[in-house]
Amino acid sequence: MDNTNEELDILRDKVRGVTTEIMRVVQQRIELARKIGEVKSRLGIDIKDEKVEHEIRMRVMLLAQEIGMSTEFALQLLNILLVESEHVQAQKSSQKVVEKQTHLGIFSKAKQLEATGKKIIHMEVGEPDYSPPTRVGAALAESFRMKLYHYTDTQGIAKLRDAIAAKEGGGICKDHVVVTPGGRFAVFSAITSLLRTGQELIVIEPAWPAYKECADFVGARTKILRTTLEDKWIPDTKQLEGMINSSTKMIVLNYPNNPTGKVLDHKTMENIVLIAKDHGLYLLSDEVYADYVFAEFSSIRKYDYAKSIVVGSFSKRYAMTGFRVGYGIANKDIVSKMARVQAVAITSVAEPMQQAALAALEVDPSENIKLMKKRLDFICRKLKKMSLRCVEPEGAMYAYPELPKGEDIPIVEKLLEKGVALAPGSGFGDSYKRFVRISACQPEKMLEKGLDVMASVIREQM
Amino acid sequence: MDNTNEELDILRDKVRGVTTEIMRVVQQRIELARKIGEVKSRLGIDIKDEKVEHEIRMRVMLLAQEIGMSTEFALQLLNILLVESEHVQAQKSSQKVVEKQTHLGIFSKAKQLEATGKKIIHMEVGEPDYSPPTRVGAALAESFRMKLYHYTDTQGIAKLRDAIAAKEGGGICKDHVVVTPGGRFAVFSAITSLLRTGQELIVIEPAWPAYKECADFVGARTKILRTTLEDKWIPDTKQLEGMINSSTKMIVLNYPNNPTGKVLDHKTMENIVLIAKDHGLYLLSDEVYADYVFAEFSSIRKYDYAKSIVVGSFSKRYAMTGFRVGYGIANKDIVSKMARVQAVAITSVAEPMQQAALAALEVDPSENIKLMKKRLDFICRKLKKMSLRCVEPEGAMYAYPELPKGEDIPIVEKLLEKGVALAPGSGFGDSYKRFVRISACQPEKMLEKGLDVMASVIREQM
């Protein structure tokens, strides 16, 4: 016994020595990173260098295999080294991190202005102005009478999951559904349960900022695939495949797209699914605008890919944003991981809200869809008259035109002063400062007023 | 220009070499950990060794200071090394991780049994059987009529935060309040926003499992301070202070306590606040049972400590569990960090639920409190007759008696077969296998029935 304790002591002593050694070498690496930061700053070179990063990642993987280290652990370790290097370089460099101005920031400013008595036309948020189905109100009152206000199954009440499974079709059942507080939490629970620190996901920009926010929350890295107005917002699937490395775990899709209204054609979707399959990646498909579709659209579910997760919501379909009910659809294994996050963070979704959603599902939302299409057509005609470039939306609730001159933030701020709230394009990606997002969640008359103000502000800029 | 690029190339080459070196030394450390694991397994020694870990943490901190490395980064790095070492050691050892059986597991089993037609007396969950105030029902219907079902401020609607601030008193205003989907999300957002991977929080057991679950979610480590029935569940503050190291960031309190019903005396509370102050720690005080108090109790807010966070809820006070409305109270900086988590995960709490909570706040819950006290007294009398040891609850909704013989899980399972659901004591901490938690959320008649079944099962065991 004593003998073996001695053995332990010797081993522990070695651990101490090796730990000191690790710290010293790591510090050497940090010093080098600092120097590189200085050189880059002098040359005005961007701190991030994907190519160099990729190369070092490949090296570390090969080395891990060679020395018998778990690749997953090696990549995790490398990642915290890379993050610290970036951190140190940013300190040395003149590049500053500026808080991003998003549609929510403008919404909040607009609300503050309203509180001072100013009238604002809200064309910045994706919150329909029409009402939820009347039976939703009845269901609310009923839920209280029937004492339906208790903890529910973490995944959601069985009846609601049954109804969602039936609506979605394709042979799924309630076990493939998790009811979440809004589509946002389905995104949050999918990303935080399926990705870990140092792993990567690919987001196609322009994009709703939530995907990156959720990735940041668990220390996962967001790689950006940019699309352009010139290419009609269609992602280059070759480029997509080129971005994949051993740390990549997920591709995020969002079609019909917020903010562009783009819907992908079958061929492109098929390509993306094949790429995901080839590399064993999760496909998170945020389809909360799936009802608002004016072109041919197929859900990722049609492609029958086991590692796909569909996000749906009652917010847009039934104008039920403030009820905070959405859902995720995936295989049982993924659903149980997402439900686990839900159990830790919120226990379950408020039961009266689930009852309200259940009642809503019986209602056909097609009138809402027609109305939205009509408004988007109206917006597009107005934009054409203003000679702004814009890809006509094939779905969702937004137009995303290019500004003829200047950047989004000053123009959005000037518009807000004049009582019109728009979302700055750069809220959906750093490279979209020349764009704004116009939400069609207002009556046509209001949209007309707002767009007229926008036209006059843009004329002034010319 | 060429010259400086050459400079970059040389530096990058050095980075490659140093990175390889880091990986090699880290692998040496892992090999040593593996050997230690083998020795420990042979000796039957626990893998975790707090003392050794503490010692190495201190060394690394000193070393970091010496070589100019950020201590925070050094500890983060050390932590992933420690986690990987544990991981490797666990593989070598025979120690297996068993999924813990908690009150929620029993609740779920009980629900399944009910679905097959079996009658169950629910004494396992903390969900009051009485109804929310009637005006809550009216507020629900009203919220629909008044179109109060939109996105709200992430922190919660101003009126509700005003009302919570007024109820809580002590000079706070709405800026110190964040409305969350249940008290659980206030715990989640506090822990995940204030702690990072490798940092530590101290939880006093027996404890609600949520604190550790939230810490696990961000890779923070939970250190356990155990209390005993013999010491009347009073924590040893000397021992508490001894557990603090440079990685410790938070102490979690939960009084009135779930599961013991303990309320801390003023002196002990004051001691804990002083310790937190001395070490600059956050104090997360989960006070969701603050209304159910039958002894002298003061909220952590009385101690005016800037780094404290109070968690409150409408669930227990008004029997509104399924509405999922709770809140956090803290200084503006902490509140904005918690609200940030909320913005990322859920946008805002469902507005009709916030309106319902606002309506409830006008109601005095003292009848509920009297009822709960009466039931707990009844349970305690019954337990005394059964000769079970139990510290009389001074608050909350539970009794936590010691079993005279045997372990909790087999007894709880036998009881469930006989139609009585109890929470196993070990769900609140590994060292409490000799305990069960009895929830007083049932009418006295049902409690009597359930306790009689419990008495007979225990007699059989003797």
Give the mean model confidence (pLDDT) for residues A173-185: 98
ipTM score: 0.89
> Do B201 and B78 belong to one domain?
no
Burial class (CB in 10 A: 0-12, 13-18, 19+), A82: buried
- Identify the pLDDT of residue B1: 43
**pLDDT tens digits for A427-445?**
999 999 999 999 999 999 9
For residue B69, give how far its alpha carbon lies from the nearest alpha carbon of chain A (Å).
Answer: 6
Instruction: Choose between B212 and B107: higher pLDDT.
Output: B212
Chosen for mutation from B77, B79, B104, B439 (greatest number of chain A CBs closer than 10 Å) is B77
Same structural domain for residues B186 and B282?
Answer: yes
Please give the pLDDT value at position A97: 45
Mark yes or no for CB contact B21/A25 under 8 Å: yes
Question: What values do phi and psi take at B201, rounded to 5?
Answer: -130, 155
Residue A97 included in any domain: no
Q: Indicate if A220 and A76 belong to the same structural domain.
A: no
Percent of chain B exceeding pLDDT 70 equals: 97
Q: How confident is the model at residue A56 (pLDDT cuts 50, 70, 90)?
A: confident
Residues A91-121 have pLDDT tens digits of 655 444 455 677 778 888 888 888 889 999 9
Q: Do A350 and B19 touch (CB under 8 A)?
A: no
Domain CATH for B242: 3.40.640.10
Mean pLDDT across the stretch B318-322? 96
Question: Residue A21's domain spans which residues?
Answer: 2-92
Q: Do B19 and A78 touch (CB under 8 A)?
A: yes
**A73, A84, A344 ranked by CB distance to B213: nearest:** A344
Residue A3 confidence (pLDDT) above 70: no
For position B4, what pLDDT does the model report? 61
- Which region among A24-38, A373-387, B301-315 has the lowest average model confidence (pLDDT)? A24-38
Q: What is the pLDDT of residue A96?
A: 45
Residues A320 and A437 both lie in one domain: no
Ramachandran assignment for B165, one of left (phi > 0), alpha (psi -120 to 50 degrees), beta (any other): alpha
Instruction: State whether B285 and B152 are in the same domain.
Output: yes
pLDDT band at B92 (very low <50, low <70, confident <90, very high): low
Q: What is the pLDDT of residue B175?
A: 97
Average pLDDT, stretch A223-244? 96
pLDDT band of B97, cuts 50, 70, 90: very low
Q: pLDDT higher for A93 or B447?
A: B447
pLDDT higher than threshold 70 for residue B98 = no
In this structure, are residues B291 and B369 in contact, taking their beta carbons and an 8 Å threshold? yes
Distance from CA of A309 to the nearest CA of B (A): 17
Confidence of residue B453 (pLDDT cuts 50, 70, 90): very high
Would you state the pLDDT for residue A327? Answer: 98
CATH of the domain at A57: 1.20.59.10
Residues B77 and B181 in one domain: no
Please give the average per-residue pLDDT across A360-375, as a whole number.
Answer: 95
Clarify whether residues B116 and B147 are in a common domain.
no
| Strand blocks (E) in A141-215 | 177-180, 200-205
Mean pLDDT on B412-427? 94
H or E element at residue A424: strand A420-424
Contacts of B151 in chain A (CB under 8 A): 125, 127, 321-322
Task: Give yes or no: residues B189 and B148 share one domain.
Answer: yes
Looking at the complex, report in whole angstroms how far the Cα of residue A291 sits from the nearest Cα belonging to chain B.
20
- Final residue in a domain of this structure, among B68, B92, B116: B92
User: What pLDDT score does A94 carry?
Assistant: 47
**B411 pLDDT more than 60:** yes
**Å between B214 CA and nearest CA of chain A:** 6
Q: Are A325 and A222 in contact (CB under 8 A)?
A: no
Sign of CA dihedral A201, A204, A208, A209: positive
**Are B344 and A210 an interchain contact pair (Cβ–Cβ within 8 Å)?**
yes
* Predicted local distance difference test score (pLDDT) of residue B81: 87
- Bond before B443 cis per omega within 30 degrees: no
In a domain, B97, yes or no: no
A95-109, A269-283, A351-365, B162-176, range with the lowest pLDDT: A95-109
pLDDT tens digit sequence for B202-215: 999 999 999 999 99
Asked if residue B370 belongs to a domain, the reply is: yes
Mean pLDDT of B285-308: 95
What is the nearest CA distance from A459 to chain B, expressed in angstroms? 34
The answer to whether residue B157 scores a pLDDT higher than 90 is: yes
Are B22 and A77 a contacting pair at CB < 8 A? yes
Q: What is the CATH number of the domain that holds A422?
A: 3.90.1150.10
Within a domain: B63? yes
| Residue of higher predicted confidence among B49 and A378 | A378
Side chain identity, residue B381 = R
Q: Which of A4, A9, A41, A67 to mutate against chain B (most B CBs within 10 Å)? A: A67
Instruction: Pick the last residue of a domain from B317, B342, B360.
Output: B360
Interval B243-255 mean pLDDT: 93
CA atoms within 13 A on the CB side of B431: 10
Domain presence at residue B143: yes
Q: What percent of chain A has pLDDT over 90?
A: 72
pLDDT value at B245 more than 80: yes
In this structure, the answer to whether residues A114 and A181 fall within a common structural domain is no
Mean pLDDT of chain A: 92
Query: Of B360, B386, B403, which residue sits at a domain end?
Result: B360
- Count Cα atoms within 13 angstroms, Cβ side, for A340: 14
In this prediction, residues A121-150 reach a mean pLDDT of: 94
Residue B98 lies in a domain: no
> Can you give the pLDDT at residue A100?
66
| Residue A46: inside a domain | yes
Q: Are residues B273 and B342 in the same domain?
A: yes
Structure tokens, B233: 């569940």
Interchain CB distance below 8 Å, B188 and A353: no
pLDDT band at A246 (very low <50, low <70, confident <90, very high): confident
Q: Which residues of B touch A13 (CB under 8 A)?
A: none
Whole-angstrom Cα distance, residue B397 to residue B123? Answer: 11
The total number of structural domains that make up chain B: 3
Q: Which pLDDT tens digit goes with each residue over B336-345?
A: 999 999 999 9
The Cα–Cα gap between B201 and B251 comes to: 6
pTM, whole model, 2 decimals? Answer: 0.90
Shortest CA distance to A137 belongs to which of A324, A323, A348? Answer: A323
pLDDT band at A1 (very low <50, low <70, confident <90, very high): very low
Q: Are residues B144 and B82 in the same domain?
A: no
Q: Tell me, yes or no, whether B187 and B304 share the same domain.
A: yes
Cis check: omega of the bond before B209, within 30 degrees of 0? no
Residues A293-335 have pLDDT tens digits of 999 998 999 999 999 999 999 999 999 999 999 999 999 999 9
Which residues in chain B have Cβ-Cβ distances shorter than 8 Å to A32?
Answer: 11, 14-15, 18
Residues forming beta bridges with residue B436, ordered by sequence position: B424
Counting other chains too, the contacts that B329-332 makes at CB distance below 8 Å and 24 or more residues apart are B329/B164, B329/B168, B329/B172, B329/B176, B329/B177, B329/B301, B330/B176, B330/B178, B330/B190, B331/B176, B331/B306, B331/B307, B332/B175, B332/B176
Cβ count within 10 A of residue B123: 30
For A4, which of B7, B25, B43 is closest by C-beta distance? B43
Q: Are B434 and B296 in contact (CB under 8 A)?
A: no
Q: Within a domain: residue A98? A: no
